[in-house]
Amino acid sequence: VKFEVTILGSGSAAPTLGRNPSGHLVNIRERFILVDCGEGTQVQLRRYKIKFQRINHIMISHLHGDHFFGLVGLLSTFHLLGREMALNIYAPKALQDIIELQLKVSATRLRYPLNFIYLESKSSELIFEDNLIEVRTIPLDHRVYCNGFLIREKVGQRRINKELLAKYKIPLAIIPQLKDGKDWEKESGEVLKNEVLTLNPHRARAYAYCSDTRYNESILDHINDVDLLYCETTFLKAHLDRAKATFHCTAEQAATLAKKANVGRLLTGHYSGRYSNIADFEAEAKTVFDNVVLGSEGVKVEIKL
Ligand SMILES: [Zn+2]
């Protein structure tokens, strides 16, 4: 029951030798979701040995180049590797026009279907769910239309208490109904209550990805109590004026959001290229909020049960 985030890129704007632009690979219970796809993301996927064919969902926060310029290259590589499985892309509608034009002029006919799911709402919406997980958008406050993503488990079924299974000789056939929360009525007519026979479900874990955005407390409603919050930290507070002008956050502001939302841990990233020592971001964030994970290429953050 893995839930893990791998940082593929922690820089903003142009790629450099040390930093790639945005990209997070989320493995939530063996569903692989790529969030943002800056230039060079496919090389990072190789570097960290992530199996390309397991990615079935790509979510793009907004159409600044450092968040999607790697996409057409990745789609082409999927094609060259023989992919046949459909790929779902969640993004502003204009991205479909961009990708289709790039494929058309390069005479590329993908051998797998691309499904575009348009993001255009200004309020949070459910964009994907299956039996185990769900993904909702988080409206952000940036220079262009931008969404974060709240990726969370669904509350699971009740868990069987194995000791009691033996003690009460519970037939295997009734386990599904116990997991659904129903009581067990024995043939004798005796009723054993569900809460006696089972344990509460595991807590549903959640990861919130918030990039890019300026400080805005309307985000708090969407990220309350998440286990892990990624909030962009493009600037240090010494450059608060730049953060305001470009609709980005400082490390201190990201930490303030983390604290007010009572999250488990804060993950930093999207650092401006002007800073050479990213440890300063961790230090600044920690003046406000203790549980800071300093994001950088190759860092894996596991959310434990
Ligand atoms: Zn941006």
CB atoms within 10 A of CB 166: 9
- In the reported structure, the alpha carbon of residue 120 is separated from the centroid of ligand 1 by a whole-number distance in angstroms of 16
Is pLDDT of 170 > 90?
Answer: no
Average pLDDT, the chain: 96
- In the reported structure, the alpha carbon of residue 78 is separated from the centroid of ligand 1 by a whole-number distance in angstroms of 26
Tell me, letter by letter, the H, E, C secondary structure of 150-189.
EEEECCCCCEECHHHHHHCCCCHHHHHHHHCCCCEECCCC
pLDDT at 162: 85
- In the reported structure, the alpha carbon of residue 215 is separated from the centroid of ligand 1 by a whole-number distance in angstroms of 14
280 is catalytic: no
Is the link from the previous residue into 212 a cis peptide, with omega within 30 of 0?
A: yes
| Residue 219: CA count within 13 A, CB half-sphere | 36
Count of positions (residues) in the chain? 305
pLDDT at 9: 98
36, 66, 212, 227: the active-site residue: 66
pLDDT at 120: 97
Q: Per-residue pLDDT tens for 192-243? A: 999 888 999 988 999 999 999 999 999 999 999 999 999 999 999 999 999 9
Is pLDDT of 157 > 90?
Answer: no
The single residue listed with the structure tokens 């303030």 is: 256
- In the reported structure, the alpha carbon of residue 131 is separated from the centroid of ligand 1 by a whole-number distance in angstroms of 33
- In the reported structure, the alpha carbon of residue 266 is separated from the centroid of ligand 1 by a whole-number distance in angstroms of 20
- In the reported structure, the alpha carbon of residue 252 is separated from the centroid of ligand 1 by a whole-number distance in angstroms of 19
Q: Per-residue pLDDT tens for 26-73? A: 999 999 999 999 999 999 999 999 999 999 999 999 999 999 999 999
pLDDT at 133: 97
pLDDT at 277: 94
pLDDT at 303: 97
Query: pTM for this one?
Result: 0.92
CB atoms within 10 A of CB 129: 12
Longest dimension (CA), the chain: 75
pLDDT at 186: 87
pLDDT at 132: 94
Give the bridge partners for 27, in sequence order.
4, 32
pLDDT at 265: 98
> Quick one: pLDDT band at residue 246, thresholds 50, 70, 90?
very high
- Rank 137-141, 162-166, 186-190 by mean pLDDT and report only the highest: 137-141
Is pLDDT of 164 > 90?
Answer: no
> Quick one: pLDDT band at residue 20, thresholds 50, 70, 90?
very high
pLDDT at 199: 92
pLDDT at 177: 92
- In the reported structure, the alpha carbon of residue 145 is separated from the centroid of ligand 1 by a whole-number distance in angstroms of 9
Is pLDDT of 156 > 90?
Answer: no
- Crossing angle of helices 94-105 and 71-80, rounded to 10°: 50
The single residue listed with the structure tokens 């286990």 is: 227
| Rounded average pLDDT over 264-291 | 97
Which helix (H) or strand (E) segment holds residue 102: the answer is: helix 94-105
Cα–Cα distance for residue pair 175/236, rounded to 1 Å? 54
- In the reported structure, the alpha carbon of residue 81 is separated from the centroid of ligand 1 by a whole-number distance in angstroms of 31
- In the reported structure, the alpha carbon of residue 65 is separated from the centroid of ligand 1 by a whole-number distance in angstroms of 8
- In the reported structure, the alpha carbon of residue 2 is separated from the centroid of ligand 1 by a whole-number distance in angstroms of 30
- In the reported structure, the alpha carbon of residue 184 is separated from the centroid of ligand 1 by a whole-number distance in angstroms of 55
Is pLDDT of 166 > 90?
Answer: no
Tokens of 62: 């907004």
Query: 3-7, 16-20, 144-148, 214-218 — which is least confidently predicted?
Result: 16-20
Is pLDDT of 104 > 90?
Answer: yes
Q: Percent of the chain having pLDDT more than 70?
A: 100
